[in-house]
Chains A and B, each alone.
Chain A
Amino acid sequence: MIIANRLTDGLVVFYKGDGGWTVDIADGLVITDEAEQDGLIEAARADEDRCVVVDPNLIDVALDGGSPRPTAIREAIRAFGPTI
């Protein structure tokens, strides 16, 4: 998936693929085809230039009962909030 922070409020957002972003990881696009990856990250970076998001990055996710969950602790905390 592609994760970023929204410029205006800093909230964590996920790329939806059609040019939009969502705060809900479940609504984000899970990229399964590596061939699409480069084009999507490029599109996401264009949104950085357009002052929509900051620092878009690809992260690994696993599908947990159909919903995506970042595999790295850090990104999981970004997606779901502080653990305590």
Chain B
Amino acid sequence: MYRYDEFDHKLVAERVEQFDRQVKRRLNGELTEDQFKPLRLMNGLYLQLHAYMLRVNVPYGTLSSGQMRRFADIARKYDRGFGHFTTRQNIQYNWIKLEDAPQILRDLADVEVTAIQSSGNCVRNITSDQYAGRAKDELVDPRKFCELLRQYSVLHPEFSYLPRKFKIAVTGSPNDRAAVAVHDIGLRMHENDAGEIGFEVLVGGGLGRTPYIGHTIRAWIEPEHILSYVEAILRVYNIHGRRDNIHKARIKIIVNQMGIEKYRELVEAEWQRVKDGPLAVPDEEIERIERYFAPPRYETLEDETDSLAEKRAAHRAFDRWIRINTAEHKVPGYVIVNVPLKVLGKPPGDIDADTMDAVADLADRYTFGEIRINHRQNLAFVDVRQQDLFELWQALDALGLARPVLDSISDMICCPGLDYCALANARSIPIADDISRRFVDVDELADVGELKINISGCMNACGHHHVGHIGILGVDKRGEEFFQLTLGGSSDQHASLGDRLGPGLPQDEVPEAIAAIVGRYKSLRTDGERFLDTYRRVGIEPFKEVVYGGDERKAVA
């Protein structure tokens, strides 16, 4: 993975000292809360319901074992012993003191981690495919370009006060695991007929109050021009993006108001002016960064040895775990192991400090010391020898992290909701808990198969409810919590926004509604058909019927 050089270290150190001065100026009254808020947000510090919350970047979801141990240290020393992985591949701490924040940032800087721009109206953490560089289906390893974009976006002098936040995601696989179509800029990497690599650029996707799937603004751009093209997009947005209404300030609004053709015209005109300037990326910089992403020292191994087959035959649970929680690696004899952070009774994405340390130890032992985070709030070990699978499975099982639930009903995305978040309208974690308790049987989960449930506690959609196969949105209706269901959303390469099923339901009716939808799906599906495919084939009516009994009598919200 990328390692800082002297320049990266210096910049981060200077940022920490700047923030230290800003905190002091806030505490002594030189800065008002109104002035300080955007400054602390650009350093990842929110003021939530119970305390300050610190959001720490995990650039494109890649983390070393040492960094994970530092996360554990911080959880113990400055927080209440746990952290929460988010849908943007970051980690959040919920109980941070303002006075401690500069020192925490110093502790993080020691291990080359920052909270720079994890919030604020600026370019946020660059996200990517959690299997980047490893997946068998990958066309181009996007990580070096993620790093290039990370550096480009950090403390950008022109784009630190954009109309609103700005999220960029990159995928190098035709199977989009990074949800690029619902990002402000989505980049799809592929090869052209001449064997050159390049980007398809999407713009104006996003969730929140007004969800949109991104438009292709340019079908092909060469790597040397990626920064200048992104700069052109950002400049047009910075100038034309709306600043009169916070709910209309994201790039998706202006792109869809002026139309993608007009937006493209402005961007192309700007790009022509800047493309041959100093933003053109020299080959030697791409090569410099690429060296950090050289493959680890793989052994020459074979796939699916007899001993593995034997173990699978002897241990049904092990076999099921392999089928559900692992993914194919591009190197023979290796495999990607997913570690869903979906533990019964715990909020999705939460992990305590001891488990962080244990995961770091397993990463050192079994996967070259690297850990990945995905946007579904799970971890992954991306370089596991197949011959180690049985041992690793047992070790994960001992930690309670070997449930075979990847992409199942139990593998929900869930924002912190009203239990923590100052923006939320309703609690999302108890809903996730209710649903996971309703579907505990692993046979049933496996039978239902891929069914992604995404839960948000408000319109801001941190839980990506619009693109859940089943989406759940918490709303407040005269002081009471209700939950609106949407069906048919997806954030992959065939991204779609879910359709609203009907009026909101009270909390205690949600698990039964999900069960009814699942039951209907099972009766309607053809062989091997996923929930999403069945939904797309039959439409919303059959599901409406089972939830509302045809009369939508529960029309309360």
Chains A and B touch each other in the complex, with CB atoms below 8 Å apart? yes
Q: Which residues of A contact B (CB under 8 A)?
A: 5, 7-12, 48-51, 54-55, 71-74, 77-78, 81-84
- State how many angstroms separate the Cβ of A84 from the closest Cβ of chain B: 5
**Do the beta carbons of A10 and B97 come within 8 Å of each other?**
yes
**Do the beta carbons of B419 and A54 come within 8 Å of each other?**
no
**Residue of chain B at shortest CB distance from A72:** B479
A55 to B32, CA, bound (A): 11
Q: Determine the chain A residues whose CB is within 8 A of the CB of B536 once the complex forms.
A: none
Interface size class of B (residues with CB under 8 A): 20 to 34
A5 to B427, CA, bound (A): 21
**Do the beta carbons of A9 and B99 come within 8 Å of each other?**
yes
A74 to B51, CA, bound (A): 14
**Do the beta carbons of A51 and B419 come within 8 Å of each other?**
no
A11 to B316, CA, bound (A): 49
Q: Indicate whether A83 sits within 8 Å of B419 (C-beta atoms), given known contacts A8-B27, A10-B47, A10-B50.
A: yes
A84 to B99, CA, bound (A): 27
**Do the beta carbons of B481 and A78 come within 8 Å of each other?**
no
B548 within 8 A of A: no
**Residue of chain B at shortest CB distance from A54:** B33
Does more than half of chain A's interface fall in helix, strand or loop, or is it mixed? loop
**Do the beta carbons of A11 and B479 come within 8 Å of each other?**
no
B129 within 8 A of A: no
> A83-B419, A83-B427, A84-B429 are known contacts; what are 13 more A-B pairs with Cβ within 8 Å?
A7-B27, A8-B97, A9-B99, A10-B47, A11-B50, A11-B51, A12-B49, A72-B479, A73-B418, A73-B481, A82-B429, A84-B427, A84-B430
**Residue of chain B at shortest CB distance from A71:** B479
**Do the beta carbons of A77 and B418 come within 8 Å of each other?**
yes
Residues 40-81 of B at the A interface (beta carbon under 8 Å): 47-52
Most interface-central of B47, B50, B420 (chain A CB within 10 A): B50
Counting from the closest, the 9 A-B pairs by CB-CB distance are: A82-B419, A10-B51, A10-B52, A9-B97, A51-B29, A78-B49, A84-B429, A84-B430, A8-B99
**Do the beta carbons of B418 and A84 come within 8 Å of each other?**
no
* Interface bits B335-349 vs A (CB < 8 Å: 1, else 0): 000000000000100
- State how many angstroms separate the Cβ of B55 from the closest Cβ of chain A: 14
A81 to B48, CA, bound (A): 12
B411 within 8 A of A: no
Q: Determine the chain B residues whose CB is within 8 A of the CB of A78 once the complex forms.
A: 49-50
- State how many angstroms separate the Cβ of A61 from the closest Cβ of chain B: 14
Q: Determine the chain A residues whose CB is within 8 A of the CB of B98 once the complex forms.
A: 7-10
Q: Determine the chain A residues whose CB is within 8 A of the CB of B433 once the complex forms.
A: 84
A51 to B33, CA, bound (A): 9
A27 to B429, CA, bound (A): 30
B525 within 8 A of A: no
A74 to B418, CA, bound (A): 7
Q: Indicate whether A12 sits within 8 Å of B99 (C-beta atoms), given known contacts A72-B479, A84-B347.
A: no
- State how many angstroms separate the Cβ of A82 from the closest Cβ of chain B: 4
B96 within 8 A of A: yes
**Do the beta carbons of A55 and B430 come within 8 Å of each other?**
no
Residues 93-133 of B at the A interface (beta carbon under 8 Å): 96-99
**Residue of chain B at shortest CB distance from A74:** B418
B26 within 8 A of A: yes
Q: Determine the chain A residues whose CB is within 8 A of the CB of B35 once the complex forms.
A: none
Q: Determine the chain B residues whose CB is within 8 A of the CB of A54 once the complex forms.
A: 33, 47
**Residue of chain A at shortest CB distance from B30:** A51
Our pick among B26, B27, B50, B419 for the contact of A12 (Cβ within 8 Å) is B50
**Residue of chain B at shortest CB distance from A12:** B50
Q: Determine the chain A residues whose CB is within 8 A of the CB of B429 once the complex forms.
A: 82, 84
Our pick among B49, B52, B97, B479 for the contact of A77 (Cβ within 8 Å) is B49
- State how many angstroms separate the Cβ of B347 from the closest Cβ of chain A: 7
B307 within 8 A of A: no
- State how many angstroms separate the Cβ of A6 from the closest Cβ of chain B: 9
**Do the beta carbons of B419 and A77 come within 8 Å of each other?**
yes
Q: Indicate whether A10 sits within 8 Å of B347 (C-beta atoms), given known contacts A51-B29, A82-B419, A84-B430.
A: no
Q: Indicate whether A73 sits within 8 Å of B479 (C-beta atoms), given known contacts A9-B98, A9-B99, A83-B427.
A: yes
A82 to B350, CA, bound (A): 14
- State how many angstroms separate the Cβ of A66 from the closest Cβ of chain B: 23
- State how many angstroms separate the Cβ of B296 from the closest Cβ of chain A: 39
Q: Determine the chain A residues whose CB is within 8 A of the CB of B51 once the complex forms.
A: 5, 9-12
* Interface bits B275-289 vs A (CB < 8 Å: 1, else 0): 000000000000000
**Residue of chain B at shortest CB distance from A50:** B29
- State how many angstroms separate the Cβ of A1 from the closest Cβ of chain B: 16
A44 to B470, CA, bound (A): 45
A81 to B420, CA, bound (A): 8
Q: Determine the chain B residues whose CB is within 8 A of the CB of A55 once the complex forms.
A: 33, 47
Q: Determine the chain A residues whose CB is within 8 A of the CB of B96 once the complex forms.
A: 10
- State how many angstroms separate the Cβ of A60 from the closest Cβ of chain B: 10
A77 to B47, CA, bound (A): 15
- State how many angstroms separate the Cβ of B168 from the closest Cβ of chain A: 30
Q: Determine the chain A residues whose CB is within 8 A of the CB of B419 once the complex forms.
A: 77, 82-84
**Residue of chain A at shortest CB distance from B420:** A82
A52 to B97, CA, bound (A): 14
**Do the beta carbons of B28 and A51 come within 8 Å of each other?**
yes
Give 30 pairs: A residue, B residue, CB < 8 Å, sorted on A.
Answer: A5-B47, A8-B97, A8-B99, A9-B52, A9-B98, A10-B47, A10-B48, A10-B50, A10-B51, A10-B97, A12-B49, A12-B50, A12-B51, A49-B29, A54-B33, A54-B47, A55-B47, A72-B479, A73-B418, A73-B427, A73-B481, A74-B418, A78-B49, A81-B50, A82-B429, A83-B427, A83-B430, A84-B419, A84-B427, A84-B429
A54 to B47, CA, bound (A): 9
